[in-house]
Chains A and B, each alone.
Chain A
Amino acid sequence: MNGRFIRLGETGRKTVRIRVDDKDVEALAGDTLLVAMLCSVDHVRQSEFGNEVRAGFCLMGACQDCWVWTAEGERLRACTTVVSEGLQIVTTQAEAQWANL
């Protein structure tokens, strides 16, 4: 696993399948989206104003650093969203045509 977070227990939970950047990711029921992502990958988005990737910061919905895009163009705050089956997340910036109908 190339994830950043390490599971220390509570692993006997139902599997939840999501996709991150078009790759399958297996999470566990009860994971937040942030934890679900970071147990498999090491970042959740690109910084807008720097070259670095970001992987959340406060985990309590205060820093707003973990807002991610879904493939449908919706915004989710990963640390306060419970992971659900079928979520599709992209960790790159929206394309320049994001506003076009």
Chain B
Amino acid sequence: MSRSQADVIIVGGGIMGAATAFFLRQRGRSVILLERGLVGQQASGTNFGNVRRQGRFLPQLPLANRSREIWGKLPELIQHDAEFLMSGHIRVCYRDEQADEFEIYAKEAGQYGLKLDLFRGAEMRARFPFLGPEVLAASYSEKDGHANPRLAAPAFGRAAARLGAEIVENTEIATVEKEGAEFRATSTAGRTFHAPALLVTAGAWGSLLSEQFGEPVPIAVHGPQMAVTEPTTYGIHPVVGVSSPHIEEVLYFRQVKRGNIVIGGCARGPAYPDVRRAYVLPQNTLLQFRQMHRLAPALSKLNIIRVWSGIEGYMPDDRPIMGASGNVSGLYYAFGFCGHGFQLGPGVGDTMAELIDTGATSTPLEPFDIRRFAAVATQAQQPA
């Protein structure tokens, strides 16, 4: 049976895996990327496409900043811009509490190098004339924007392949084991792949692999509720998102240069990782319409032409799993990005490549350590 060998095996060909493969090749490491379907088909290809830093858990900003720098350099790095547009990004709110929170966040984010401008009242209406009358405040991040999730991960995959990475699609991994100093991944067809280092970037399926190494994590799986309008004249530049403690109000949208407006939020939908299907519930689409009347009333004139969902993995503390394994040397993780991983993708790739290649990284990853769930896992294994 066929046997392949490399410095690093990556299991999971979303943007995390594809970007890591690319950056590892840049560092001269040989890489095999294993993907059950096609690169970028799952969460990486179905998400909203936000490339934003504001609103993130503050300790995640160094990673997000690192990633943002790479977004701006995509054409020279991977010969593809993934339609990244530095359009700006605004978080808006309907209540004073959130407006106050914007101010606090702006100060703290400033310490991480993220500059945010706050707008209210007439100034806000002049700057963002499409906002509905209920909107109280807007926090604007000039250097954030959006990109095309359908294109980004595949572009990284092709760039990695051009640098010599072995990209193996349509290959489902049945088992992963470590024997001595080497990991062995075996496909359902019996092919084996061997390397001293293994990275799990299997998204919503990441826990299935981490548990094979004694590190299960409580991952929950949900489907984003997405919709897109017909194309119309390009006129709304920033990405717009609502900040609210009530999930049904958390609507976001972005207009692409071709004129379509991509819409997401307000609810999470059903996702079935076993059969790789996820659905948009009709009531969620209608809910998004209701919220759009509030957020940007003029968009009510448009028609949506398609909805879609995807399979996203969520951790209970809304932070991903990232970093080295707590149990097994040579084993690394980057999965479970809680629906906010797209912007982080290039940065995760660069960071994980650095970590795997050198054993350390300048970007702090402690908040994402898999060991934070070890106690939970141990408890779960105790007899009742």
Contacts and interface: CB of A to CB of B under 8 A. Distances in A.
Interface of A: 48-49, 64, 67, 73-75, 93-101
B302 interface: yes
Interface stretch (B165-173, B227-235, B271-279, B376-384): B227-235
Interface string B113-144: 00000000000010001111100000000000
**What is the predominant secondary structure among interface residues of chain A facing chain B?**
loop
Contacts of B231: 48-49
Nearest to B261: A99
Interface in B230-261: 230-236, 258-259
Interface of B: 125, 129-133, 230-236, 258-259, 296-299, 301-303, 305
Nearest to A72: B301
A93 B233 CA distance: 7
A94 B129 contact: no
Contacts of B233: 93-96, 98
Given A75-B302, A99-B296, A94 B232 contact: yes
A64 B125 CA distance: 34
A101 B129 contact: yes
Most buried by B among A75, A94, A97, A98: A98
B303 A49 contact: no
Most buried by B among A49, A73, A99: A99
A96 B234 CA distance: 6
Contacts, number: 51
Contacts of A96: 233-235
6 contacts: A48-B231, A67-B303, A97-B235, A98-B233, A98-B235, A99-B235
Most buried by B among A74, A97, A100: A100
A32 to B, nearest CB: 18
Nearest to A74: B301
Given A48-B231, A94-B232, A99 B299 contact: yes
B298 A99 contact: yes
Given A67-B303, A93-B233, A98-B233, A48 B258 contact: yes
A75 B303 contact: yes
Contacts of A73: 298, 301
Given A73-B298, A101-B133, 9 more contacts: A64-B230, A64-B305, A74-B301, A75-B301, A94-B232, A95-B235, A97-B235, A98-B233, A98-B235
Most buried by A among B131, B231, B232, B236: B232
Contact of A48 (B259, B297, B298, B303): B259
A74 B298 CA distance: 10
Nearest to B131: A101
Contacts of B232: 93-94, 98
A22 B114 CA distance: 49
Nearest to A70: B301
Contacts of B303: 67, 75
A96 B235 CA distance: 5
Nearest to B260: A48
Contact of A101 (B130, B259, B302): B130
Contacts of A75: 301-303
Given A73-B301, A101-B132, A101-B298, A49 B258 contact: yes
